[in-house]
Structures are given as C-alpha cells and as structure tokens.
C-alpha cells in the first residue's frame, strides 16, 4: 500500500492483502508527513558549504556562481538572500522563508547573481544584532533592509576604535542597575513610553521613575525626542563595538 504526502510517497509493507487497519495507519502517517513538509518547505535544505562560499564570492565569475546556485537548487530568476550566522558562516534562504531562530544578519533578497552584495550587507547586519539578554538586549535577527543610513556607522567602528562618550555612558549606566539596559532598549525600540512599559511588563509610573534615574548617569534625557535619537545611536554603536 502507498500514499502521497506532498512531494513524498509513503508505503507500508506487510505479508498478505491490505486491511482497514493498515489503510488507517498509512492515512495518518501521510497526514503527519504532509504537515511536516508544509511547515518546512520554505526552509532551505542543508547545502554544501563550498557551493555557498562560491555563490557569495564577489571575485568569482558570474557563470561559475550561477552554476553553483543551480546545484544548490536556485534558478537565475529565484529570489534568495544571504545570511550571516553567529558563528561567522554563511547560509542561503529563499525570500519567503521564515527567519532563523538563532542570531543572524539577513541580506537583501534578490536573484542569485546578486548574492555577493547580499552577503556583504548580511555581515554588516550581523554586527547590529544582540544576544537578547539582560546585559545585551536587542534583536537577535536584523535585516539589512531595515538599517538604512545606520550602515554607515559600521565603517566607522572597527577593531581598536575608541567608544564615543555616549557608549561609555551606557556602560556606566549598566553598572548601576540590572534593569538598565533592557529598559533603555525598550524605550529605543518602541513607539511610546507606554508601549515601552508594556513591553517591560512594568507600570508606566515605574518606567518614569527608572528613566528619571538614568538622566544623571547618562547625561541626557531619553524621554525627549533628541534624547531618544541619541539613545538609539548609542545602543547601535555599542553593538558595533561588541561585534566584529
């Protein structure tokens, strides 16, 4: 007996003619396999690292890169992005695939011929990611498309670069209270202080008290528009200093 489950075929072998029990077992197995295939069909299969290195190599000839992309299952008209993973390795992902669960920078989606540019952007995006912990709050997955002019900061912060005073101020602030960095990150990432309080699961008045505490430590008021922008830039620079 056999049954189709998406692009796969399942079969059940047993001595003698099939009966109703076997048919039920096969039907349920096909349903389970179909559910798994539908959940994972947009995820790229494990690929040869050497082929991935070739398709993202800017110095390689385009015909060679397109041939490698074809061996990875991508047609010239497909839209695919490069991903820079936390361990420094590269991965490829179709445009419609779900983002990875781990820390990663995602380059712009485009045809396979544009993967070297996508890889370069993904590596920059990875530097703007965070661990998502109390001491390093922030997004674990960052899309290069969302960074805009912030990418210019990455070129200014290299190994050995001295942190600007605002980044050093964040370090001093972090030493004053365990909730400091997560609170500041919530203020920087949300649309309003009330939204920040909701994200932090604290009362609005509690957040106001916390932010009042940050003013003498940071040296500016993050509740004001200019202070919030200053905070956003300081947090971005802090991540760039932490990620090379």
CA separation for the pair 93, 91 (Å, rounded):
7
Domains located in the chain, CATH noted: 2-40 (no CATH), 49-146 (no CATH), 157-242 (1.10.10.2840)
Mean pLDDT over all residues of the chain?
90
User: Exposed/middle/buried for 158, CB within 10 Å: 0-12, 13-18, 19+?
Assistant: exposed
The whole-model pTM stands at 0.79
pLDDT tens per residue, range 139-153? 999 999 999 999 999
Pairing of strands 90-94, 80-85: antiparallel
| Residue 26 pLDDT | 66
Query: Residues 6 or more apart from 230 whose CB is under 8 A from it?
Result: 166, 220, 222
* Residue among 80, 89, 126 nearest 106 (CA): 126
| Residue 8 pLDDT | 63
pLDDT tens per residue, range 36-72? 555 544 444 567 999 999 999 999 999 999 999 999 9
Query: How many CB atoms sit inside 10 A of residue 74's CB?
Result: 21
pLDDT tens per residue, range 69-107? 999 999 999 999 999 999 999 999 999 999 998 999 999
Residue scoring higher pLDDT (43 or 230): 230
CA separation for the pair 61, 86 (Å, rounded):
28
Token representation of residue 224 = 């004001």
Residue scoring higher pLDDT (142 or 20): 142
Token representation of residue 30 = 């096909």
């Amino acid at each position: 007996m056999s049954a189709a489950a998406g692009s796969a075929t399942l079969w059940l072998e047993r001595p003698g003619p099939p009966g109703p029990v076997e048919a039920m077992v096969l039907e349920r197995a096909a349903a389970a396999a179909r559910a798994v295939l539908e959940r994972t069909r947009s995820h790229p299969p494990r690929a040869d690292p050497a082929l991935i290195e070739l398709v993202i190599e800017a110095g390689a000839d385009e015909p060679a890169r397109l041939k490698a992309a074809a061996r990875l299952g991508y047609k010239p008209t497909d839209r695919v992005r490069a991903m820079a993973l936390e361990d420094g390795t590269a991965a490829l992902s179709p445009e419609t695939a779900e983002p990875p669960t781990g820390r990663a920078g995602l380059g712009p989606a485009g045809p396979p011929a544009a993967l070297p540019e996508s890889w370069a952007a993904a590596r920059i995006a990875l530097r703007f990611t965070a661990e998502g912990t109390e001491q390093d709050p922030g997004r674990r997955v960052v899309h290069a498309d969302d960074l805009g002019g912030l990418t210019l900061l990455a070129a200014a912060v290299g190994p050995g670069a001295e942190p600007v005073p605002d980044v050093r101020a964040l370090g001093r602030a972090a030493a004053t209270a365990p909730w400091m960095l997560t609170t500041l990150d919530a203020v920087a990432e949300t649309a309003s202080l009330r939204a920040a309080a909701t994200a932090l699961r604290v009362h609005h008045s509690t957040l106001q008290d916390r932010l009042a505490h940050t003013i003498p430590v940071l040296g500016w008021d993050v509740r004001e528009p200019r202070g919030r922008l200053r905070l956003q830039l300081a947090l971005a620079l802090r991540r760039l200093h932490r990620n090379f």
